[in-house]
């Protein structure tokens, strides 16, 4: 089932980095959030840097709020994290938000940020995979990693050094996208959503038969990687710091890459390239208010022009596509305005069942 979605209509977003630090929260920080009402939230690590940013803290401060944000995997948020201490949950995907919404009987949720999933890689790898027909120009004006072709390679357990004519990266390791740990991280669940769609003949997985059909190949994509990290910042950081030998292909949120480019700190070197999978998949960061001022945070993120602009600074797409694209153009960067051929994310229940099946192979 293919849909055409204008990616631009996303709402605000955030970016990734490290382990969060809430600048406004230290005792030694007298300015921004002084006397403000503290709002506590929990969400994916890729949004931590946004909430930690002094400008973001300042805008919330103007509205009398001080947001303290803890990082946790979206699956953990939906299952194991004690949500009683938080005013809002901010998982990185709609299915996880849906689950919390149901559990906590919340009526209104906000989807202020969206980010397509992407694959961070390097120029020599792009050239190599182009020569193998795995990377090509997609339906839009951007290069895609053809997931069906990629799955042909992984299905056979192809190693890099077995690709014909490969002198650029003759490594004795399987051609395999590096993901996070499917047992606790949303980006791995998004990867599963994507590959399951292609493995199921480009249909969203919605029946037990389809689950059984996609599972063997999907399990292998995770288990063959061996150890995976639990948050999306981990593998992206390896990509940035350790380079091609460790992480030739890394599954990330587009926002993670754009955030680094927008910072202009030199961490994205000229040979670092971003590919979009075909089909593409959108991660919809959804804020679920739990109590107190949680809902106001969702509302502000969705409506405050300054926060939307700042979200774009962190690489997130909001419901103001023009602001996002203008900002990129202003910094001499670019990202596709529209992403075509969208895969659909399975329901929370289906995704959970698949993830639980995969988890069994880690025992």
Partner 1 sequence: MKRVIATVLAVAAVLSGCSSDAGDEKPASQAEAGKLRVLAGSELADLKPVLEQAAQATGVRVEFTFSGTIEGSEVLASGKADGRYDAVWFSANRYPQAIPDAARRLGAQAKVMTSPVVLGLARSKATELGWVDKPVSWSDIAKAAADKRFSYGMTDPSASNSGFSALVGVASALAGTGSAISATEVGAVKPQLKGFFSAQAMSAGSSGWLSEAYQRRATGEDPGAKIDGLINYESVLLSLNAGGKLPEPLALIYPSDGVVTADYPLTALKDAPEHARADHKKLTEYLRTPAVQRDIMSRTHRRPAVPGVELDKDFGTRTLVELPFPATEQAFDALLMAYFDEIRRPSRTVYVLDVSGSMAGERIEKLRAALVGLTGASNDLVGRYRRFHGREEVTFLPFSGEPGQPITFSVPEVDQRAELDRIKQTAEDLDSGGGTAIYSSLERAYQHLGAQPDDGRFTSIVLMTDGENNSGTDLAGFQQAREKLPERLKGVPVFTVLFGEGNKDEMADVARRTGGKVFDARDTDLQHVFREIRGYQ
Is residue 325 involved in binding partner 1 (CB under 8 A)?
Answer: no
Beta bridge partners of 114: 284, 317
Nearer to partner 1, 233 or 254 (CB): 233
Alpha carbon distance 194, 199 (integer Å): 9
- Note whether 195 and 217 are within 8 A (CB): yes
Q: Which of 84, 107, 164, 227 binds partner 1 (CB under 8 A)?
A: 227
Alpha carbon distance 197, 214 (integer Å): 9
Q: How far is the CB of 9 from partner 1 (least distance, A)?
A: 32
344-357 burial, b if ≥16 CB within 10 A, otherwise e? bbbbbebbbbbbee
C-alpha distances in Å from residue 289, one per residue of 130, 183, 188, 286: 45, 25, 25, 10
Is residue 226 involved in binding partner 1 (CB under 8 A)?
Answer: yes
Q: How far is the CB of 241 from partner 1 (least distance, A)?
A: 5
Is residue 363 involved in binding partner 1 (CB under 8 A)?
Answer: yes
User: DSSP assignment, residue 83?
Assistant: G
Q: Which of 37, 79, 202, 267 binds partner 1 (CB under 8 A)?
A: 267
Is residue 266 involved in binding partner 1 (CB under 8 A)?
Answer: yes
Is residue 54 involved in binding partner 1 (CB under 8 A)?
Answer: no
| Strand, coil or helix: 312 | helix
Residues numbered 179-198 forming contacts with partner 1, rule: CB under 8 A: 181
Is residue 173 involved in binding partner 1 (CB under 8 A)?
Answer: yes
Closest CA to 198 of 142, 75, 128, 280: 280
Q: Which of 93, 111, 231, 286 binds partner 1 (CB under 8 A)?
A: 231
Q: Which of 176, 282, 300, 355 binds partner 1 (CB under 8 A)?
A: 176
Q: Which of 14, 16, 20, 345 binds partner 1 (CB under 8 A)?
A: 20
- Note whether 129 and 249 are within 8 A (CB): no
Closest CA to 201 of 190, 210, 209, 192: 210
Beta bridge partners of 3: 342
10 Å CB burial of residue 321 (0-12, 13-18, 19+) is middle
User: DSSP assignment, residue 182?
Assistant: T
| Strand, coil or helix: 280 | strand
Is residue 80 involved in binding partner 1 (CB under 8 A)?
Answer: yes
Region of 4-12, 221-229, 277-285, 319-327 interacting with partner 1 (CB under 8 A):
221-229
Q: Which of 46, 87, 146, 237 binds partner 1 (CB under 8 A)?
A: 237
Is residue 26 involved in binding partner 1 (CB under 8 A)?
Answer: yes
Alpha carbon distance 328, 312 (integer Å): 9
Q: Is the peptide bond before 279 cis (omega within 30 degrees of 0)?
A: yes
Is residue 166 involved in binding partner 1 (CB under 8 A)?
Answer: no
Q: How far is the CB of 249 from partner 1 (least distance, A)?
A: 13
Nearer to partner 1, 64 or 245 (CB): 245
Residues numbered 134-153 forming contacts with partner 1, rule: CB under 8 A: none
Which residues contact partner 1 (rule: CB under 8 A)?
A: 18-22, 25-26, 28, 45, 70-71, 80, 157, 159-160, 171-174, 176, 181, 223-228, 230-231, 234, 237-238, 240-247, 260, 265-267, 361-363
């Amino acid at each position: 089932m293919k849909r055409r979605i204008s990616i631009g209509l996303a709402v605000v977003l955030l970016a990734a980095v490290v382990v969060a630090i809430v600048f406004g929260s230290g005792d030694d920080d007298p300015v921004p959030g002084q006397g403000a009402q503290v709002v506590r939230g929990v969400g994916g690590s890729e949004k931590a840097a946004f909430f930690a940013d002094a400008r973001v803290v300042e805008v919330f401060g103007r509205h009398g709020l001080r947001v303290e944000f803890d990082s946790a995997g979206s699956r953990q948020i939906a299952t194991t994290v004690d949500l009683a201490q938080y005013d809002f949950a901010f998982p990185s995907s709609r299915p996880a938000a849906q689950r919390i919404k149901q559990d906590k009987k919340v009526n209104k949720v906000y989807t202020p940020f969206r980010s397509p999933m992407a694959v961070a890689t390097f120029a020599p790898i792009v050239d190599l995979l182009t020569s193998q027909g795995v990377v090509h120009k997609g339906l839009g004006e951007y290069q895609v990693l053809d997931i069906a072709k990629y799955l042909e390679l992984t299905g056979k357990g192809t190693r890099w050094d077995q690709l014909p004519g490969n002198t650029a990266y003759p490594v004795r390791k399987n051609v395999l996208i590096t993901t996070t740990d499917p047992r606790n991280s949303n980006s791995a669940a998004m990867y599963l959503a994507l590959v399951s769609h292609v493995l199921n003949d480009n249909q969203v997985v919605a029946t037990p038969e389809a689950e059984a059909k996609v599972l063997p190949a999907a399990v292998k994509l995770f288990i063959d990687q061996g150890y995976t990290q639990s948050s999306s910042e981990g593998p992206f950081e390896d990509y940035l710091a350790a380079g091609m030998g460790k992480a030739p292909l890394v599954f990330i949120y587009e926002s993670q890459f754009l955030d680094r480019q927008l910072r202009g700190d030199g961490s994205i070197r000229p040979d670092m390239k971003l590919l979009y999978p075909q089909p593409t998949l959108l991660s919809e960061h959804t804020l679920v208010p739990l109590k107190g001022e949680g809902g106001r945070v969702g509302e502000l993120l969705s409506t405050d022009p300054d926060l939307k602009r700042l979200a774009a600074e962190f690489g997130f797409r909001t419901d103001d596509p023009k602001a996002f694209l203008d900002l990129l153009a202003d910094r001499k960067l670019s990202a596709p305005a529209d992403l075509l051929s969208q895969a659909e994310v399975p329901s929370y229940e289906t995704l959970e069942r698949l993830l639980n099946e995969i988890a069994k192979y880690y025992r």
